[in-house]
Amino acid sequence: MTTIVGISGSVRSGSFNAALLRVAAAECPPDAVIRIESIAAIPLYNGDEEAARGIPAAVARLKDAIAAADGLLLVTPEYNNSIPGVAKNAIDWLSRPPADIARVFGGKPVAVAGASPGGFGTILSQNAWLPVFKTLGADLWPGGRLLVSRAASAFDASGEMKDAAARDNVRKFVAGFVAYVRGR
């Protein structure tokens, strides 16, 4: 069984990115699973807190989940043409302490996807993640793009993706990433 940890970079209850992650999990090929994890309990990074109390439990748990998984799928919004602070804050915490980065991210296959109500489908945010994952030594999957634009019409009120062609794009993206993870 190939295990992918899936994280939404938005903690909003009606998040399009969380909806996209759920579609990706539902479209996962046989013998693979996308385990959806949350960043909602991760506090703002504060070096004083880290020095005094160490790594928060929610961070330690997510680090272990990523370390144990075969790959990581980050479904990210775009804020101000870049990475949302909430998501970057989570990854920053997950990179602490530096001596543990290799265990969590080193050589880890990572795929980035995203959904936005506008016309560009998070392309600038996805690009902005590249140097972050390179810095962490992850193995960023170069094979696919999943850019869901016009998200308000791509998902229905319950967060389902009804359009067969759009859903097929998600299925192909996930299948490509899973094949990449397995082929390494």
Ligand X SMILES: Cc1cc2nc3c(=O)[nH]c(=O)nc-3n(C[C@H](O)[C@H](O)[C@H](O)COP(=O)(O)O)c2cc1C
Task: Summarize as ranges the residues that interact with ligand X (CB under 6 A).
Answer: 10, 12, 15-17, 77-81, 116-118, 120
At 105, the amino acid letter reads: F
Using the minimum distance from each CB to ligand X, give the nearer residue, 71 or 77.
Answer: 77
Using the minimum distance from each CB to ligand X, give the nearer residue, 2 or 125.
Answer: 125
Dig out the tokens for 124 from the structure: 């600038």
Using the minimum distance from each CB to ligand X, give the nearer residue, 10 or 169.
Answer: 10
Distance in Å, CB of 48 to ligand X, minimum = 27
Dig out the tokens for 180 from the structure: 């990449």
Distance in Å, CB of 102 to ligand X, minimum = 30
Distance in Å, CB of 126 to ligand X, minimum = 11
Distance in Å, CB of 63 to ligand X, minimum = 23
CA–centroid distance for 184 within its chain:
20
* CA nearest neighbour of 83 among 60, 112, 42, 118: 112
At 92, the amino acid letter reads: D
Count other C-beta atoms under 10 Å from residue 172's C-beta.
Answer: 13
Buried b (16+ CB within 10 A) or exposed e, 144-168: bebbbbebeebbeeebebeeeebbe
